Amino acid sequence: MKLILASASPRRAELLRSLGLEFDVLPTGVDECDEHPVSVHDIALHNARVKALDVAARHRDALVLGADTIVVLGSEVFGKPRDLDDARRMLRSLSGHTHSVITGVCLVCRGESRERTFTVETRVQFRPLSDADIERYLDAVHVLDKAGAYAIQEGPPLVANLDGSYSNVVGLPLERLAAELREWGVHAGLSSIDPAQPQR
């Protein structure tokens, strides 16, 4: 079965390739929501699903993978920053606190009338950040396309501790995804991505 990644994220494509899979990349132009009346998990699920269904409508016989990652601190959801001032605000808010990174995943094949959705949550503790730390990070990393205005795998270290899937914070929960793909007859190899280690 042909596999399509419904995402423009180079990080997700790299993660998926680490499973030894061949796939096409077809980004979508659908609008993402940043609030949901039920739960923050449903925000990520909704966005992942609309991306996957948008592509699946045009490729009925393919297995389409949609995903969306959000950062949650308390009751506030951090999507992609509007600009660098918004990125500074996000990083100041996350400084010294533990937040959740939630990725929603949707797998769908319209031709087989099959759909599967799930979320994975990772808890991430930031070290305390000074204004100078934040400016150094913003100078080193392009953050405007990243939820929460950071990428765990790029730039000066921000993270003191992590509980859960490292690849989930990057953009795809590979451990769970590989297991789900096997249910569709897609045999994904074990990822070479190193499991989470605290950054010091």
In this structure, are residues 43 and 35 in contact, taking their beta carbons and an 8 Å threshold?
yes
Closest CA to 91 of 145, 129, 125: 129
Residues 6+ apart with CB under 8 A from 130: none
List, in sequence order, every residue forming a beta bridge with 121; answer none if it has no partner: 102
Closest CA to 119 of 139, 131, 104: 104
Q: Of the listed 24, 34, 68, 131, which one is catalytic? A: 68
Closest CA to 30 of 14, 5, 47, 44: 47
Verify whether residue 68 is a known catalytic residue.
Answer: yes
Residue 42's CB: how many other CB atoms inside 10 A? 18
Q: Which amino acid is at 165?
A: S
Cite the active site residues: 68
